[in-house]
Amino acid sequence: MAKHIYKCISCNKYTLSEECSCGGKAILPRPPKFSLDDKYAGMIREVKKKELKKKGLY
């Protein structure tokens, strides 16, 4: 059986169980799946573009 590495939401530590030693909940730190047919891709790009303009990087 394969083990997964979880990341605690409250203390940002990595663990092998779904509950951290601090008592917080741990989640799988995986990025969302990529799809070429993503209907929200245009909106995501716009938001990122605005954030970069605000920081002066675009």
Residues 19-50: pLDDT tens digits? 999 999 999 988 878 888 888 888 989 999 99
Predicted TM-score (pTM) of this structure: 0.51
Q: Could you tell me if residue 16 is inside a domain?
A: yes
- What pLDDT does 10 receive? 92
Report yes or no: 49 and 41 within 8 Å, Cβ to Cβ: no
Does residue 5 form part of some domain? Answer: yes
Q: Tell me the mean pLDDT in the region 5-10.
A: 93
Is residue 7 domain-resident?
Answer: yes
Task: Tell me whether residue 15 is in a domain.
Answer: yes
User: Would residue 10 count as lying in a domain?
Assistant: yes
What pLDDT, on a 0 to 100 scale, did the predictor assign at position 48? 93
Sheet holding 14-15, edge to edge: 14-15, 6-8, 26-27
In which region does residue 23 sit, left (phi positive, over 0), alpha (psi from -120 to 50) or beta (all else)?
left
Cβ atoms of residues 26 and 20 within 8 Å: yes
User: Which secondary-structure segment (H or E) carries 19?
Assistant: none
Q: Does a structural domain hold residue 8?
A: yes
| Domain count for the chain | 1
Is residue 19 assigned to a domain? yes
